[in-house]
Amino acid sequence: MSDDVLVLGGGVIGLTTAVVLAESGRRVRVWSREPADATTSAVAGGLWWPYRIEPETLVGDWALASLRVYEALAARPQETGVRRVPGVHAGTRIAGLGPWAAQVAGLCEVGPSELPGGSGSGLWARIPVIDMPVHLAWLTGRLEAAGGRVEVREAGSLPQAEAQSGATVVVNCTGLGAGKLVPDASVRPVRGQLVVVENPGIEEWFTSVDHASSTTTYFIPQPGRLLLGGTAEEDDWDTAPRKETADAIVERCARIRPEIAGARVLTHRVGLRPARDAGVRIDSGRLPGGALLVHNYGHGGAGVTVAWGCAAAAAAVVG
């Protein structure tokens, strides 16, 4: 076994990166400010799709690498939380996507007759949907099986984490927390609010995104529930659900599938997507004590989508 690695951050990026490093033979510890089921990742809708993430030149490869992993994990959905589910992206055309789209099996354009709610055009795909609480628990178990461990512990600073852990490699996967920890003034929140309802029998996901607006419309079936969204409110730190926002989300989704209007509300969720002006940061430096510092943060609204690709990229920097 080689020298110790400390991964800061216990969301999907931190846990996936820790798994890749541990399975390569590293001794890995994860410090997480909160348990995995309390992280922003646990709130995520879990649909694989490159959304609100840069840089475009790298995202496609990271997303495709993750897609291949999720497709394999979908063979064990109850264990891994990953299923392949059909659905449509309304108002999206293949020509508006990057080269990665050509490698998504079955992705095709559809017309009004194949779209709910009277949408004019869109894309149909059968892609991974990840039940995030289940998947985060599975990642934790896989890490432990590889000899790693997770501690609920917050790093006061990067040099302090180096000194207290004795690690020779520190991997910063703190997401929004990197704004203060690094510090990186270009890190900022994009608030997302969801409504979780009893599923009235909807088996396909649906999204309609206006990138010029702070509101989106989507619903994603998860086991035992249906996730309704959403919002994309930049620089909004409020983690409390807003009733007027929730009512508007249900109304928008019910325009597409009217049965949603009568679905019983189970709970409300708010997550702050960890956006970064320049996009994902994967690079390295040195800490005062000589430890290698590797950054892997700034994944915006697509941390789940690129987790395995970015973990491999970060692990390659670790060496």
How confident is residue 116, by pLDDT bands cut at 50, 70 and 90? confident
Where exactly are the structural domains of the chain?
A: 4-318
AA letter at 37: D
- In terms of DSSP H, where are the helices of the chain? 12-23, 40-43, 56-73, 77-80, 132-145, 158-165, 178-181, 243-256, 303-318
Angle between helices 12-23 and 132-145 (to 10 degrees): 30
105 pLDDT higher than 70: yes
For position 98, what pLDDT does the model report? 94
Cα separation, 105 vs 102, whole angstroms: 8
AA letter at 42: A
Q: pLDDT, tens digit, for every residue of 249-259?
A: 999 999 999 99
| pTM reported for the whole predicted model | 0.96
Give the pLDDT mean for 253-278: 97
Give the pLDDT mean for 100-109: 96
For position 1, what pLDDT does the model report? 43
Cα separation, 137 vs 167, whole angstroms: 25
Measured at the alpha carbon of residue 129, what is the angle toward residues 127 and 135, in degrees to the nearest 5? 135
Long-range pairs of 242-251 with CB within 8 A, sequence gap ≥ 24: 242/193, 245/193, 246/193, 246/195, 248/215, 249/193, 249/194, 249/195, 249/217, 250/195, 250/197
The three-state secondary structure class of 289 is coil
For position 254, what pLDDT does the model report? 97
Q: Which of 26-40, 155-169, 205-219, 239-253 has the lowest mean pLDDT?
A: 205-219
Q: pLDDT, tens digit, for every residue of 74-89?
A: 999 999 999 999 999 9
2 pLDDT higher than 70: no
Q: Do 231 and 210 touch, CB atoms closer than 8 A?
A: no
**Residue 290 CB: number of other CB atoms within 10 A?**
8
Q: Which CATH number fits domain 4-318: 3.40.50.720, 3.30.1330.40, 3.90.1210.10, 3.10.580.10?
A: 3.40.50.720
By percentage, how much of the chain surpasses pLDDT 70? Answer: 99
Q: pLDDT, tens digit, for every residue of 44-83?
A: 999 999 988 999 999 999 999 999 999 999 999 999 999 9
For position 213, what pLDDT does the model report? 85
